[in-house]
Amino acid sequence: MPEVFRYLSPEWAQEAHRRLREQLTPEQMKHVTSSMVTLYHDCPDGKDRSLYYGMVDGVVESLKILVDEVPEAEFVISGDYETFAQISRAELGSRAALMSGKLKLKGNMVKALSFSSVVDRLNKVLSTVPTEF
């Protein structure tokens, strides 16, 4: 049986980063160079968490979890823990969550929407990480 990782733990982030680098080519990532933070409110322990993605020429160079801290990024997408958990389980699309108001975006909306297929690919890979929510 594969190892199961606690959602948003350092071990989960390490496994997610490994899978993103192995499974997504620069072409699939549209050679994007950007940074994005997903900000999780109301995590089960009562804290907020940030998941930072640093992408250079279509490669996820860095993926890190921060507690009660929001690093600088081109885009910040915020929402509650359960909404992001649904997205990570592939039960809810990120675009649908954004358009319905379940997620909020700070950054250029037009540019963010042009990256929506890239974000969908990231989320599809994240949904393959064996996770305990």
The radius of gyration of the chain from alpha carbons, rounded to an integer in Å, stands at 14
131: in domain: no
Domain count for the chain: 1
Q: Which residues pair with 104 in a beta bridge?
A: 78
27: in domain: yes
Q: Where are the alpha helices (DSSP H) in the chain?
A: 10-23, 81-88, 94-99, 109-114, 116-126
107: in domain: yes
What pLDDT does residue 1 have?
66
74: in domain: yes
20: in domain: yes
pTM score, whole prediction? 0.91
Distance CA(119)–CA(123), nearest Å, equals 6
Distance CA(35)–CA(52), nearest Å, equals 7
130: in domain: no
Condensed to tens digits (0 to 9), the pLDDT of residues 80-129 reads: 999 999 998 889 988 899 889 999 999 988 888 888 889 989 999 999 99
52: in domain: yes
Exposed / middle / buried, residue 86 (Cβ in 10 Å: 0-12, 13-18, 19+): middle
- Provide the pLDDT confidence category of residue 69 given band limits of 50, 70 and 90: very high
84: in domain: yes
Q: What is the CATH number of the domain that holds 93?
A: 3.30.1050.10
Range of the domain at 53: 5-118
- Provide the pLDDT confidence category of residue 5 given band limits of 50, 70 and 90: very high
SS3 for 49-82, per residue?
Answer: EEEEEEEECCEEEEEEEEECCCCCCCEEEEEEHH
